[in-house]
Structure formats: C-alpha cells, structure tokens
Amino acid sequence: MALAIRPLHPVFAAAVTGLDLRDPPTPALGREIAAVMDRHAVACLPDQAIDDAQQLRFTRLFGEPELAPLVQGRPRAPEAGDRIQHKEIFDVSNLDPRGNMLPADDERRRYSLGNRLWHTDSSFRQLSATYSMLSARIAPADGADTEFADMRAAYDALPEAMKRRLDGLVAEHSIWVSRRAYGYVPTDEEIRLRPPARHKVVRVHPGSGRKTLYIASHIDRIIGWSEDESRALRDELIAFATRPRFVYVHKWRAGDLVIWDNRCTMHRATPFKDVLVPRDMRRTTVREAVAVPA
C-alpha cells in the first residue's frame, strides 16, 4: 500500500498513513519517510499499536539510537517486571518503572517538567539528535498536547538585520538550564556526565538545504557574550519562532507515533493533570553519525 501524506499545517507537519509498523520495515520505507521529513519536519503516524522492540526496529532505519539516562541519572538498571526493558527507550511518562503514578514531589517528575519549555532534543550533546519518535501508549483524553515549531520558517521570516546579527554566533547548551528552571537540582555526578555542548545558532538543514535556527531553552550563553545579553537573545528568538503561524499542536491519541526532526524544529509539552491522570509515552531518538562543527 502506498503512503498517503496529508498536510497538518500551512508550513510543515503531515499525517502519514498506509503503513503498519508491526511489519518489518524496509530500507525503501525508510527512504520514503525521510523524504516526508525533509519536506514536513514533523510526521504523525496514527494507529500504530507497536511495542518497544518494534519501535526500536523502525528507529534503527534512520541511525543509531541514543541511550536513555538511567532514571534521570540515578544508577538503576531495568529489572524484571519493569514497564521498559530497553536502554534506548526514553520514558516520557508520569509513571514509575512498575506503572504507578509519580507523586508530585518525585525527582523524576520535577526533572520532566523541563520538557514544558521550548527545546530541541539533545542540543546539549555535542553529538546531537536527528529524529525523535514518540509513541503514545496511554494518552489522556484532555490536555497533554505537544507543540512543534518550524525553525526553518521562523528563520526565513526574521528581519534581515537579525539574520546578520546571528551570522556566526555559537551558543552553549546545557540540559541543566532547563531542568533548574523547574527546581531540579542535579548531582555533581550528573553534571560531570552531561557537560554542555556548543552549536551554531544558524545551521543549514541537510535534508532541505534551508537555513534554520538551532536554539532551545537549554541555551546557557552565546560564546563571547554576557549572560544577560545571551539569555535576552535566546528568549527573543524563542518568542519569535513560536508564534502561532510557525506552530503545529498535536493532540495525542493512543497509538500515535510522531516523528520530528530536531535539526529544524523545537517542541514542548503542555501541562495536564499529571499527578491524577496516567500518560505513558515512549521516545526513541537517533543521534548524528558525526558531530556538526560549531
């Protein structure tokens, strides 16, 4: 069956139907999906009743998956009976390993609240991310949407004076900037294991050849600038790039698999009653084969 592509937003994002990821994916399917991503940057594949192994099998069509941190940096490996057994599956849920709701004061919940800020997955790594794939196993009936912003369209719309100002700038990204914003306090070991990374503020997206902003709430500073100047520019760019004309809002249903290209999008989670309503979301993320020069 041929893939059917339906745009979801005037400038990016598309629904893709005509495939079943329970079947072994082929390299040809990988090329078709990559072509969709080069054009649309975000793709929603509905009605994919997959398990973790099937999600990983599909993910590997596009490269090597990242490894998830162990319980947000805590040294705990999966045990028999845990919901998630694969080290490449990021648990983007409000559940503990056995499926119980996380209490409001749990450190894992506090850590995950940073996802409510606009960000790009793994921009805080020097070997940054290409595609992320988020599978909805349990989705609340109300709320818990994910918002995506097209950073190519945002760059195109910037005033020429701002484009000139950004030319050649390099930003330092740190996961702890966004996590500290919600009160999470990393340990010395976490800080050592996850140091900051540097990336150009403007990149060329390899799939489309278009210039794109590469920014996130993880940005700590612009190299050579003061902290106040750096964060003012970061906040100004994020506010511009997340205007409604650049944003697609995905309302989750169980069985959705959404893919996004971290090289040319930002995204954020929206609040919901996370201490009352279960949400089971599992992410895989593909890393760059080689680091992009800063």
Sketch the domain layout of the chain as residue ranges: 4-287
> Tell me, what's the pLDDT at 189?
87
Domain covering 4-287 in this structure, CATH number: 3.60.130.10
SS3 193: helix
> Tell me, what's the pLDDT at 293?
87
> Tell me, what's the pLDDT at 72?
56
> Tell me, what's the pLDDT at 76?
65
SS3 143: coil
Region label for 68, one of left (φ > 0), alpha (ψ between -120 and 50) or beta (otherwise): beta
> Tell me, what's the pLDDT at 289?
87
> Tell me, what's the pLDDT at 54?
98
Which letter does DSSP use for residue 81 in this model?
T
| CA-closest candidate to residue 94, choices 282, 283, 278, 284 | 278
Give residues with Cβ within 8 angstroms of 83, minimum separation 6: 91, 95, 97, 98, 99, 280
SS3 272: coil
Q: How far apart are CA 272 and CA 136, in angstroms?
A: 15
pLDDT tens sequence for the chain (294 residues) = 689 999 999 999 999 999 999 999 999 999 999 999 999 999 999 999 999 999 999 999 999 999 988 655 555 677 888 999 999 999 999 999 999 999 999 988 989 999 999 999 999 999 999 999 999 999 998 889 999 999 999 999 999 999 999 999 999 999 999 999 999 999 898 899 899 999 999 999 999 999 999 999 999 999 999 999 999 999 999 999 999 999 999 999 999 999 999 999 999 999 999 999 999 999 999 999 888 888
Tell me if the pTM is above 0.85.
Answer: yes
Q: Are strands 170-173 and 197-200 parallel, antiparallel or unpaired?
A: antiparallel
| Unique residue bearing structure tokens 């599909």 | 58
Residue 284, both tokens: 């895989």
Residue 46, both tokens: 């509905």
> Tell me, what's the pLDDT at 1?
61
- Let me know: does 63 contact 289? Beta carbons within 8 Å: yes
> Tell me, what's the pLDDT at 43?
98
Residue 191, both tokens: 């800080």
Q: How far apart are the first and last CA of the chain?
A: 42
